[in-house]
Structure 1
Amino acid sequence: MTWQKELDELRAREALAEQMGGEEKVSRQRGRGKMDARARLAALCDEGSFREIGKIAGKASYDENGELTGVLPAPFLFGKATINGRPVVATADDFTIRGGAADAGISRKMVQAEKMAHELRLPIIRMIDGTGGGGSVKTLEMIGATYIPAVPGWGDVVENLDSVPVVALALGPTAGLGAARIVASHYSIMVRGLSQIFAAGPAVVDGLGASYRSATDHQQAKEELGGSEIHTRNGVVDDEVATEAEAFVRARYFLSFMPEHVGQLARRSNCTDPVHRREEALLNLVPRDPKQVYSMRRCLDMVLDAGTMFEIGKNWGQAAITALARLDGYPVAVIASDPSFLGGSWDAKTSEKVERFVKLADQFRLPIVHLVDNPGFMIGREAEMAGTIRYGVQAMNAIYKASVPLASIVLRRAYGIAGSAMSNAEKFQYRYCWPSGDWGSLPIAGGLEVAYKSEIEAADDPAAELEEIKARLDKVTSPFRSAERFNVEDIIDPRDTRPLLCEFAELAWRKLESGSNSAR
């Protein structure tokens, strides 16, 4: 006697689960230009690698004889898979079942997915397409009472943030718990026009009047309230893409720079880009006119391993570029001033972005490369109202607390406290300066006429006196004067930047691999 009958029932239940919310709702999902949950898992993970856990969980219905007549699957799928050949926990909300609402599901599935990630030390990817965790007002009537909110398993979410890489993809309208699950990640993505994020959706914000919106008005309201145009510019979400397919590519690429868990090192890749490549264009990249800008991204393309730069948070905190990249195949975290935005001055959002990125690099043991052209923290009334100095000092504190090796390249300006935040001055300064370097406690041009006011006013020709003072100070501010006193370690030919950074990457990884900084 075999157990074939039970296996037949198992296959039947699995087939019901694969129908998700039913043909009509799946078609409606696709009609909105969205993939269904199972298609997303297949597209994200290595081909054929996804092994589902809890597939047949859901709400079953039976006839009067106790025979199964149907199953409404839980609106949350998860399992073990591989991405880039490495094991992960992959999860996906199923919007075709009650709009992905958690109250329609089995909370233990979501909790177990998070536990699996941190207990087995595996990266977790959340594909979020749901309306939240609390259900509707009708749910309260069904329960017969209200309750003080609590999120089952949120402690596991927090644990994962401290222990494994967490990636969140917003792939539809997400409110409440869905929004919280997106933000509780190390890297997050929205799809332009397809996904929205809000603490509460338009219907709750507007009240009962929103119930009578047309479908077009409702979609527009969702975009206005929480579209990617908003959240990738305020720092809630890191990046926006045009399609779901692009979101999957970026998620996979982000994970390629990460270790599988805290305590493990990321992996070096094969590098075909010559370590000693010297780009002639670097020689004239920085203009002699201090008021002219240049492309820092062009500089990064010339010094990093070709084609490896992965910028994160491009649309917010724009005075600093933050990116993952490789040098001689070694993964590194890159911070670079962007003189084309606010002249490179750090405002509150830029400082917040730098702080978060430095903490990410330190947590996952990625050496930091900092390319500096920073005239200081943003000044003025708006900057003061935004609390710029607090955010700026927090960014500086993160750099000082970081225990991973850091190298800085000063391309041009490094002024004030923000200039001090380029690296930890209490440690060995692995630092190089270009001949275009210009630094100090404050820009001389901004205080020259005040400092020499009496001399200028007493001169027969004030304009000529001012020019003579400028000429004298130009000599004093030469970077070579700083190098004479060993206030800067080395002034280099800009074309040597890549070879020297590759040398740093090798030494940094030698230190990390030796475990010499394991006592953090």
Structure 2
Amino acid sequence: MSWKDEIDELRKRQALTRAMGGPEKLERQRAAGRLNVRERISLLSDEGSFREIGSIAGTASYDEDGNLTGLMPANCVFGRAKVRGRDVVLVADDFTVRGGAADAAIVEKQIQAEAMARDLRLPIVRLIEGTGGGGSVKSILDMGATYVPFNPAWDLVVENLETVPVVSLLLGPVAGLGAARAVSSHYSVMVHGQAQMFVAGPPVVAGIGEDVTKEELGGADIQLAAGAVDDAFASEAEAMEAARWFLSYLPNSVHELPARTTPSDDPARTDPALSAIVPRDKRYAYDMHAILASTMDKGSVFEMGRNFGQSVITAFARLDGWPVAVIASNPKVYGGGWTAESAQKLIRFIDLAETFRLPIVHFVDIPGFVIGTRAERAGTIRHGARALAALYQASVPMCAIIVRKAFGVAGAAMMNHTGFRYRYAWPSGDWGSLPLEGGVEAAFKAALETAEDPAAMKAELSRQMRAFSSPFKTAERFWVEEIIDPAETRPLLTEFARLSAPLRERGDKKPRYRP
């Protein structure tokens, strides 16, 4: 006895679901310049590696004799795949079926995708397009009632942030619960001109009197500047390559450690150009990205969130093959001063490093918090204090390189000073409670106001203080541990990566990660 008829029925149903929303909807997707859900899965995953789960889930129709006449697939496709040889969970919205809004099967499929990532301890990549939520207002007519809202699988979404790498690719318009899923990630990416993200789309926003296009409301430039997403690229292929690169630095879950790759760069390499990269005139900036490129393994620097909180650079990189998290001041923006936005960016990045046990390298040039009325209205000190708390709560090994300035509360946030201070300073180091510029006036305000020649007194006080502000004076008292030739920074950092590698511990206690 054979089950051929049933197997034929299975193949028939699978063919119907692979037709997605049908020729007209597929053509509309193509005309909009967007790939369909199955093209996306093929583009991201290794050839032939995708194994779908729930391949015939959907809404079926039958004739009077009970024969299948049609099958509209669920607009969530998920399963296992390999990405660069590595097992991951892929879950993707099909915009050609009800614009990605939920139907009877999508909720359970999303739940199972998140549960699969958690239980099998695998990274999850979400390909998001649509709302991914409870459907539209029209669904009231289908259900015959309204319901109290809930967020499907949100316990799993939150748990996965503390357990496995989570990546979201926004590949078209994304709203509502779809937007919440997108930002509840360790790394989120949009496609310029193709993807938009909003709490509610233009038709709903028109109800409050705002007449805007999708791009004006939630285009990539807006969301990048707001820090709601991390990166944006010109094409879906580039966005997917960024996702692959991001995942390469992380383990499958917190139950493993980030893997070392085969070293391809001399760990003892020095760079004499670094000894002259910082200008003597403090009014001039320099290229921190060039310092990162020189000291990290060649070609390994992967920057995240470059459009938000731009006075701070956050990146993954490798040192002699070991993956590390890198924080660096950007003196070209606010002189490297901390803003409310850069503090928020730091909190999330430090939490990411702590979650997946990545040692932190911090290149420091912090003149303090950015000041002024705008900074006060942004609550800079509140966000800055939260960033300081995140740094002191982190338990991963840290190494600080003081490149130039370190002033005030923000400057003190280079590392947790209560343990061993794995720290080096360049001869260009300049530190204190306040910079001399402006600090003299604040400290000697009363004396300057009564002086016969305030300008002369200020100049003399500045001269005296400058004589004591040499980093060598600080090193004499062991208030800074070691001053180094900048050219020798890389060998010292590769040594840090080697020494800290055994200190990384798999943790049963899950760190708290918030999107």
TM-score by length of 2: 0.96
Query: In structure 2, the residue corresponding to 1:164 is in which secondary structure?
Result: coil
Structure 1 position 252 matched with structure 2 position 252 = no
CA drift of 1:464 comes to: 4.6
| Structure 2 partner of 1:430 | 422
Partner of 2:394: 402
CA–CA distance in 1 between the matches of 2:486 and 2:435? Answer: 23
Cα 1:483/1:519, change in 2 over 3 Å? farther
Q: Mapping of 1:3-402 within 5 angstroms? A: 3-103=3-103, 105-207=105-207, 221-402=213-394
1:450/1:395 CA distance change after superposition, 3 Å = closer
Q: 1:473 & 1:406 partners in 2: Cα distance? A: 31
Cα deviations across residues 473-498 of structure 1 (Å, max 9, x unaligned)?
A: 22200001110111000000000111
Amino acid at match of 1:232: L
From the superposition, tell whether residues 517 and 281 of structure 1 become closer, same or farther in structure 2 (CA, over 3 Å). Answer: farther
Over 3 Å counting, the alpha-carbon distance change for 1:454 and 1:395 in structure 2 is closer
Change (3 A) 1:144 1:362: same
Asked if 1 retains the 8 angstrom alpha-carbon contact of 2:163 and 2:510, the reply is no
Q: Retained in 2: the 8 A contact 1:238–1:313?
A: yes
Q: Which runs of 5+ in 2 are unaligned?
A: none
- Could you tell me whether the CA contact under 8 Å between 2:17 and 2:55 is conserved in 1? yes
User: Is the partner of 2:103 in helix, strand or coil?
Assistant: helix
1 CA distance for matches of 2:308 and 2:366?
Answer: 17
Give 1:104 deviation, angstroms: 5.8
Q: Which secondary structure state, in structure 2, belongs to the residue aligned with residue 92 of structure 1?
A: strand
Q: Is the 8 A contact 2:314 2:326 kept in 1?
A: yes
Query: C-alpha displacement at 1:63, in angstroms?
Result: 1.2
Cα pair 1:319 1:344 within 8 Å, conserved: yes
Q: Secondary structure at the match of 2:414?
A: coil
The RMSD of aligned alpha carbons is 1.9
Distance in 2 between residues matched to 1:171 and 1:202, nearest whole Å: 18
Per-residue deviation at 1:132? 4.1
**Partner residue in 1 for 2:494:** 502
Whole-angstrom distance in 1 between the partners of 2:126 and 2:442: 57
C-alpha contact (below 8 Å) 1:161/1:186 kept by paired residues: yes
Q: Which runs of 5+ in 1 are unaligned?
A: 211-216
**Range moving further from structure 2, 6-15 or 32-41:** 6-15
207 and 461 in structure 1: CA distance in 2 versus 1, 3 angstrom threshold: closer
User: In the aligned structure 2, how far is the partner of 1:416 from the partner of 1:183?
Assistant: 33
Alpha-carbon distance in structure 2 between the residues aligned to 1:85 and 1:142: 43
Aligned partners of 1:403 and 1:517 also within 8 Å: no
In the alignment, the residues of structure 2 paired with residue 152 and residue 451 of structure 1 have an alpha-carbon distance, to the nearest angstrom, of 57
Q: Deviations over 1:155-196 (max 9, x none)?
A: 111111111110001111011111011011111001111111
Residues 188 and 230, structure 2, Cα contact 8 Å, conserved in 1: yes
Matched with 1:213 is none
DSSP 3-state at the match of 2:504: helix
Classify the secondary structure of the residue corresponding to 2:402. strand
| Shift of residue 455, structure 1, vs aligned partner | 6.3
Q: How far apart, in 2, do the equivalents of 1:47 and 1:122 lie?
A: 19
Checking the alignment, whether the CA contact within 8 Å between 1:98 and 1:104 is kept in structure 2 is: no
Cα distance, 1:143 vs structure 2? 1.6
Q: Distance in 2 between the 1:455 and 1:176 partners? A: 60
Residue 48 of structure 1: CA displacement? 1.2
Shift of 1:147: 1.3
Shift of 1:458: 7.4
User: 1:504 is aligned with what amino acid?
Assistant: F
In structure 2, the residue corresponding to 1:129 is in which secondary structure? strand
Q: Report how far residue 470 of structure 1 moved.
A: 2.5
Preserved contact between residue 511 and residue 517 of structure 1 (Cα < 8 Å): no
Percent identity, aligned pairs only? Answer: 56
Instruction: Write the distance in 2 (CA, Å) between the matches of 1:13 and 1:320.
Output: 52
TM-superposed deviation, 1:297: 0.6
Compared with structure 1, are the counterparts of its residues 10 and 453 closer, same or farther at alpha carbon in structure 2 (3 Å cutoff)?
closer
Q: In the TM superposition, what whole-angstrom CA distance separates every residue of 1:238-286 from its partner, at most 9, and x where no partner exists?
A: 1111110001000011000011001210111112111111112101111
Q: How far apart, CA to CA, are the structure 1 residues paired with 2:61 and 2:446?
A: 92
Matched AA of 1:382: R
The aligned amino acid for 1:190 is M
When the two structures are aligned, how many residues end up with a matched partner? Answer: 511
CA gap of 1:384–1:518, structure 2 versus 1, over 3 A, is: same
Paired amino acid for 1:379: I
